[in-house]
Chain A
């Protein structure tokens, strides 16, 4: 009887392990399947391409996961990315380009557009935070609204004389270096930047009182208030810091593609939310880790790249991705239901 019991329990243990690591396991299975069908997939070049393609997504997902863990949502993320990209493009063109956004502007150092983009996105992030924390408007509505405002602002800016909504190109080499350059000949700069942002976010969320406050607010806002956590201030900073990551993402998108349009960043918020949720970040707040989020982003990256690699039609790719989101979250919810 004892034996039976232990075997039943260990059976449950394996099931638990499978349930708790659905993402890891499916990621592994996915790689194996793609590798069997297309052995060329297993190369450092492919791996590097996937990482480069997903670096800015990773950075954006960092901010998004903070917002989600706080129990919120940021639907303006994509538009903030777009604004940052256009700002970077407009302030970061080479001096000798034939068509320039600001014809008389000298060529600025690469850091100027970065700081400008961060500053303006930070202000919009604060605005989100204030509306959500001080005026208790639901995050979904606030960021839906600010998203439109930011997009409109971006379109107005993009339409300025003499640009007239023309795509911005001819980005200066120092900026392009951050998006498509290499150090030591083989390591892409953009991956290093993404790594730094991910590690900083991980550190903030795990090792600082501020990060832990975000978890407690997402877990039980009333209790957090009673515990003397300044809920309003923490939330405002959360949205502001998230906006900074979106600004960095936008800057790198412009740098990587050597240009920008006002359509940049469109729907990026949904990619980020999907990646976070698949990575185990709860959309109702309080739960989730940065390593989990990284896995979520990688999973989507590998799916995108791998399916294209296998020659799957893009339309089918969308369907497959949708199914993955639903299954992953379904498993996660089941896991929590069982615990109750």
Chain B
């Protein structure tokens, strides 16, 4: 009869949680051999929709049609067997297993009751070959880079005869070259007739590789358009429901005298940061650019006292200071917002309030007893100032969206009134609206005379926000650009100056 136009159709999916309608009559149709971008702010319902597809949530209404048949998967394993696979935002393969074991996990080739390693090896070589990947099947997964792991996950999906592959923020931790590599693979998959649902916040990528774009807002599907009919501006305005005239706030800060000077800073690890010199002025936003592996995070964690250094001096207002532990840095009014919110930022079991005021227990106690009234005052002030959307101070922080968690962390640090702020990837995994808010806070802090170091892998963000950009490559500082010299090309050129 009718030739099936869509490989996967989700019709009228509705899902309600107590108090919120997470999905309201959402319809999504995906064509084979096309890259279909799914966009929306965090909390718009993209993840919930995918969880409904994989049976992690049961939709209250709606139906899912896959290859012309109505389906209801009970788990992601079942969906994978059916040919739908998801490459997650935070991949967690088994680091101590080999590449081939990861690839065939759950369906290891067997001879009798024993694992047939020879067959597994040969099958792995064949599967990896299909994607032109040349990993050693016997290498441990922990020795692969993030992008290699991602490609391994794609290979896993392909080897399961996937018809639909969902990629959730696949490039969030990739370098530019790795992104190119991934795009090449996506191109191959498209040619093989595989449909790709591409979830991302990165406009440039969407414009480049997506055939069509579906945009969600507040649990509803706003619509689907061919990419050629859209511009970055129209996507953003559809996502946020308002026109954003500019991505970055007006900057009013005026850099003053030098406050922090770092000289010849060198890690105890020979391959990490070495001989780094830089200065930071009052009221300045210093951007730090570099590819993944440039040791930017390590450098600033070293300055903050989390990592050890072998040589080098830190001078604050001309006086040498010694930092061996975060307490030393905090005493000098230096604050660090770490790169990985989950790993070293939030305390998931604690409430929003405690996540803010726990830095200040000592200041808020008398005779060793914590004054919770004072603490709550600090927390509600922080929530108000950073416009954290939370039902209450006792709400566990883990139930907030990424953007709101980040605002809580900003509040935690800024309520201690630091002079020097190190922000490591402050907008990672955050939706457009919250990003803009965070940019506004950063610009405001610099205008107040605070010195800000902003490490970011999103070049546009640095070009838009920084007064000066220092670029690192492979543990060394390879250059510095002033505002007049800013351009993507200039940064990338410095970032790829390998020895």
A9 to B325 Cα, complex, angstroms: 49
Beta-carbon contact of B362 and A209 below 8 Å: yes
Beta-carbon contact of B18 and A9 below 8 Å: yes
Known: A208-B368, A209-B362, A212-B361. A230 touches B350 (CB 8 A): no
A212 to B347 Cα, complex, angstroms: 12
Residues of B within 8 A of A203 (CB): 369
In the complex, identify which listed stretch (B240-248, B269-277, B337-345) lies at the interface while the others stay far away: B337-345
Q: Chain B's interface: helix, strand, loop or mixed, by majority? A: mixed
Residues of B in contact, count (CB < 8 Å) = 31
Check if A228 is an interface residue, CB within 8 A of chain B.
yes
Q: Could you show 24 A-B contacts with beta carbons less than 8 Å apart?
A: A203-B369, A208-B368, A208-B369, A208-B370, A209-B368, A212-B354, A215-B347, A215-B350, A219-B349, A219-B350, A220-B344, A220-B346, A222-B343, A223-B343, A223-B345, A223-B346, A226-B338, A227-B326, A227-B359, A228-B329, A228-B330, A286-B349, A339-B396, A339-B398
Beta-carbon contact of B347 and A219 below 8 Å: yes
Known: A12-B18, A223-B344, A228-B327. A209 touches B370 (CB 8 A): yes
Residue of A with least CB distance to B361: A209
Residues of A within 8 A of B330 (CB): 228
Residues of B within 8 A of A212 (CB): 354, 358, 361, 370
Among A222, A225, A226, A286: residue with most chain B CB under 10 A: A226
- Chain B, range 310-358, C-beta contacts under 8 Å to A: 325-327, 329-330, 336, 338, 343-350, 354, 358
**The 5 A-B residue pairs with the shortest CB-CB distance in the complex, in nearest-first order:** A209-B361, A222-B344, A228-B330, A219-B347, A286-B349
A12 to B18 Cα, complex, angstroms: 9
Which bracket fits the contact residues of A? 20 to 34
Check if B207 is an interface residue, CB within 8 A of chain A.
no
Residues of B within 8 A of A282 (CB): 349
Among B338, B350, B354, B358: residue with most chain A CB under 10 A: B358
Residues of B within 8 A of A9 (CB): 18
Check if A46 is an interface residue, CB within 8 A of chain B.
no
Check if B145 is an interface residue, CB within 8 A of chain A.
no
Instruction: Point out residues on A near B: beta carbons under 8 Å.
Output: 9, 12, 203, 207-209, 212-213, 215-216, 219-220, 222-228, 230, 282, 286-287, 339-340
Q: Which residue in A12, A213, A220, A226 is a CB contact (below 8 Å) of B348?
A: A220
Check if B399 is an interface residue, CB within 8 A of chain A.
yes
Beta-carbon contact of A226 and B306 below 8 Å: yes
Among A219, A224, A227: residue with most chain B CB under 10 A: A227
Q: Which residue in B336, B347, B370 is a CB contact (below 8 Å) of A216?
A: B347
Check if B231 is an interface residue, CB within 8 A of chain A.
no
Beta-carbon contact of A216 and B350 below 8 Å: yes
Taking the closest CB of chain A, its distance from the CB of B337, in whole angstroms, is: 9
Taking the closest CB of chain B, its distance from the CB of A1, in whole angstroms, is: 12
A286 to B346 Cα, complex, angstroms: 12
Q: Chain A's interface: helix, strand, loop or mixed, by majority? A: helix
Residues of A within 8 A of B336 (CB): 226
Beta-carbon contact of A216 and B358 below 8 Å: yes
Residues of A within 8 A of B325 (CB): 228, 230
Beta-carbon contact of A286 and B347 below 8 Å: yes
What 6 additional pairs, Cβ within 8 angstroms, besides A207-B369, A209-B368, A223-B338? A208-B368, A209-B361, A215-B347, A219-B348, A227-B358, A230-B325
Taking the closest CB of chain A, its distance from the CB of B19, in whole angstroms, is: 8
Taking the closest CB of chain B, its distance from the CB of A38, in whole angstroms, is: 41
A340 to B398 Cα, complex, angstroms: 8
Residue of A with least CB distance to B327: A228
Residues of A within 8 A of B250 (CB): none
A219 to B344 Cα, complex, angstroms: 10
Beta-carbon contact of B326 and A228 below 8 Å: yes
Check if B365 is an interface residue, CB within 8 A of chain A.
yes
Residue of B with least CB distance to A212: B361
Residues of B within 8 A of A12 (CB): 18
Residues of A within 8 A of B362 (CB): 209
A318 to B86 Cα, complex, angstroms: 46
Among A208, A209, A222, A339: residue with most chain B CB under 10 A: A209
A219 to B398 Cα, complex, angstroms: 12
Beta-carbon contact of A226 and B347 below 8 Å: no
